[in-house]
Every structure is written in structure tokens, then in C-alpha cells.
């Protein structure tokens, strides 16, 4: 029998094994996911299941945990040019180790971490209010706060063709007739930032030509503009430096390494973190441009809790 997508109050009470009256208390006090339609409460089943999982206190050992570290370091998550070069540097400096990378976007990296498919997730998800990064998303996805180490800060903005022939100066210009963009995929931190920028000026993405055309990497955004197939797209300044494009800055963001505490002292993880303090790594960042390495390799903490990382 196929599962119902939405549960009513009686059904969610049976699902949670509580009295119906308790359901209303859980909505008000515990954040039980619910929506009211035509005066009746409905509960999206998948969100209720996630809510139960996120409120679990005692965690059994995962049956799909990574094996003990034996020389293969797995990194997954958000795309970054310096990260790609750092992984290549790691493989050159430590030939007895191998680092591999899966380009899954920030949310994809956190979900891979949750499923024990990687040692490190890379993420740059801006928190509500724009003052911090990653902690809320990591706690929601993983249920437990991991260790968070800064990889770099980088400058995000809008990539446009050299000379800016379409005269684009701000986000609202992207909705003009004759302007085509190229976009990043859902679940990437860059896409979330871009959608936030559009929301701030009251523009629906569907009203922008090319909004639905998505590419996997920052470099791919720049290549589409360089080839003339798009006039603009969200991305990092490093791409503008590499491809001789113009760049309209939005903000500096924190790009972090998210590490489960039980894997933090794995040899490969510690070797990779140690490399972030080496001159060879810092030289890579300097050559690329668009990076701030003042926090690189340092543990960061949620704003207002313990030491501050930003």
C-alpha cells in the first residue's frame, strides 16, 4: 500500500503514538511540521519523519559507517577552484595518501556526510540574517554539530562579459529584455545566495531568461559567458580572474570544511588540515586571487558561542 504524502491530525497522532491533543502541543512548542489548509491541519509525512529523526537523542552506530581510515580521504560538497587545486597538491605532497572529491553542492555534501559517505563536507551556506555560515544547516541535517574548520573566505558576485556590454550593474538588471544568464544548481550555496538577492529586489527567477539553465561548477558559469551563450551568472571572483571577465561584487563568504567529530583525528583529515598552514597552499590562493586566507585552517564556532570564527 502506497504511503500517504500528507497525514491528518488523527493519522499523525497514530504515527507518533500520542493523543490527538498532544499533537497541537507539539506544533506549538516543538516545531512539529504542519500546515493549515481550509481550517484543517495537514502534516507532510516526509517532514514529520525528518522531525522525529532530528529530535532523536540516542544514536545507534550506523551500519554504513566509513571503514577505518586506510589512505583514502573522501571530500564532498561545494565546488571551489582553490579546493580542486588543494586536493591536487595533497596528492602530490603525500603520495601514500589519496584524496578524492565529489561535486555535490553544499547541501549534497552535508547529506553525504549524514550518510557516512565522506570524511569532509565543504559548505558555504549563509545563515538567516547573513551573519554566520553552515552551523544551522549542519545541525539540522546531521542532528549533531560537527567540527567546522575554515578553508578560506572568497568573494561572491555576478560574472559578466569583459567590458560589461549589457551594462549590468545590479541584480534587477538581469530581468531586462535581451539579458541571458546561466545559473548554478539547486542545493548549492551560490544558488541560495543568488535566489536571496533576487528576493530582495522582488524578482522571480522564472522571469529571467536562462534562470533554469544550470551548470555544475563556478568555472562552467564563466565559460558560458566567455563563449557568448550567457551575459551573466553568479560565481566567485576567481573565475573572473582566470577568464578575464568583469565582476560585480556581492559579499565575502566563509567556505568551511565540515567534519564529524569521530573522524576529526583520522590521519588523512589531519594531514589535509595541516596542509592549509603550508606556504605551498597559501601560494595557490595568492596566484588565483579572490581569496582571503586569514581564517584558513582555523576552527570556527557559531556566532555568540565560545570563540568566534569570523
User: In the predicted model, is pLDDT for residue 30 greater than 80?
Assistant: no
Residue with cell 571530500: 75
Q: Which is higher by pLDDT, 51 or 80?
A: 80
Q: What is the mean pLDDT of residues 97-126?
A: 95
Tell me how crowded residue 166 is: count the other CB atoms within 10 A of its CB. Answer: 16
- pLDDT number for residue 310: 38
pLDDT at 229: 97
Closest CA to 309 of 272, 264, 265, 257: 257
Task: Write out the three cell numbers for 213.
Answer: 539553465
Mean pLDDT of 17-30: 86
Q: What is the pLDDT of residues 173-194, one digit of tens each?
A: 999 999 999 999 988 999 999 9
| Nearest CA-CA partner of 257 in 102, 150, 125, 97 | 150
Extract the C-alpha cell encoding 191: 544558488
Average pLDDT, the chain: 89
Higher-confidence position of 2 and 302: 302
Asked: is 72-152+254-292 a CATH 3.30.9.10 domain? The reply is no
> What does the pLDDT read at residue 146?
93
Domain ranges of the chain: 7-49, 72-152+254-292, 156-252
Residue 305: pLDDT band with limits 50, 70, 90: low
What is the structure's pLDDT at 54? 61
Q: Please state which CATH class domain 156-252 belongs to.
A: alpha beta
For residue 157, the Cα-to-chain-centroid distance in whole angstroms is 16
The cell numbers describing 131, all together, are 551573519
Q: What are phi and psi of 38, to 5 degrees?
A: 50, 40
Residue closest to 228 by CA, chosen among 216, 218, 242, 243: 243
Res 72 pLDDT > 90: yes
Q: ∠ CA(103), CA(107), CA(111), 5° rounding?
A: 90
DSSP state of 307: S
Predicted confidence (pLDDT) at residue 67 exceeds the cutoff of 60: yes
Please give the Cα distance from 174 to 172 (Å, whole number): 5
Q: For residue 255, which phi and psi values (nearest 5 degrees)?
A: -110, 115
DSSP code, position 119: S
Overall average pLDDT of the 199-215 stretch: 92
pLDDT beyond 50 at 307: no
Q: Is 72-152+254-292's fold the same as 156-252's? A: yes
- Taking the C-alpha atoms of residue 136 and residue 77, their distance in angstroms, rounded to an integer, is 16
Q: What is the pTM of this model?
A: 0.76
Amino acid at each position: 500500500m502506497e504511503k500517504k504524502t500528507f497525514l491528518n491530525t488523527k493519522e499523525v497522532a497514530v504515527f507518533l503514538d500520542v493523543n490527538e491533543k498532544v499533537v497541537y502541543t507539539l506544533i506549538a512548542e516543538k516545531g512539529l511540521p504542519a500546515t493549515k489548509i481550509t481550517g484543517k491541519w495537514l502534516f507532510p509525512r516526509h517532514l514529520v519523519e525528518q522531525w522525529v529523526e532530528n529530535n532523536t537523542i540516542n544514536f545507534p552506530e550506523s551500519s554504513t559507517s566509513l571503514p577505518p581510515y586506510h589512505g583514502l580521504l573522501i571530500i564532498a560538497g561545494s565546488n571551489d577552484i582553490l579546493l580542486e587545486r588543494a586536493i591536487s597538491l595533497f596528492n602530490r605532497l603525500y603520495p601514500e595518501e589519496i584524496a578524492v572529491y565529489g561535486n555535490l553542492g553544499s547541501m549534497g555534501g552535508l547529506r553525504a556526510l549524514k550518510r557516512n559517505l565522506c570524511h569532509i563536507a565543504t559548505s558555504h551556506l549563509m545563515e538567516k540574517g547573513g551573519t554566520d555560515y553552515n552551523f544551522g544547516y549542519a545541525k539540522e541535517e546531521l542532528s549533531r554539530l560537527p567540527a567546522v574548520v575554515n578553508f578560506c573566505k572568497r568573494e561572491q558576485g555576478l560574472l559578466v562579459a569583459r567590458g560589461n556590454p549589457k551594462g549590468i550593474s545590479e541584480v534587477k538588471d538581469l530581468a531586462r529584455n535581451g539579458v541571458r544568464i546561466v545559473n548554478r544548481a539547486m542545493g548549492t550555496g551560490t544558488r541560495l545566495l543568488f535566489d536571496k538577492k533576487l528576493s530582495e529586489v522582488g524578482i522571480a527567477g522564472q522571469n529571467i531568461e536562462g534562470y533554469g539553465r544550470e551548470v555544475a561548477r563556478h568555472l562552467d558559469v564563466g565559460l558560458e559567458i566567455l563563449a557568448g551563450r550567457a551575459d551573466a551568472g553568479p560565481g566567485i571572483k576567481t573565475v573572473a580572474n582566470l577568464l578575464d571577465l568583469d565582476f560585480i561584487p556581492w559579499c565575502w563568504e566563509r567556505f568551511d570544511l565540515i567534519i564529524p567529530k569521530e573522524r576529526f583525528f583520522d590521519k588523512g583529515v589531519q594531514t589535509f588540515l595541516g596542509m592549509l598552514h603550508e606556504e605551498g597552499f597559501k601560494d595557490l590562493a595568492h596566484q588565483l586571487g579572490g581569496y582571503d586566507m586569514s581564517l584558513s585552517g582555523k576552527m570556527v564556532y557559531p556566532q555568540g558561542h565560545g570563540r568566534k570564527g569570523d
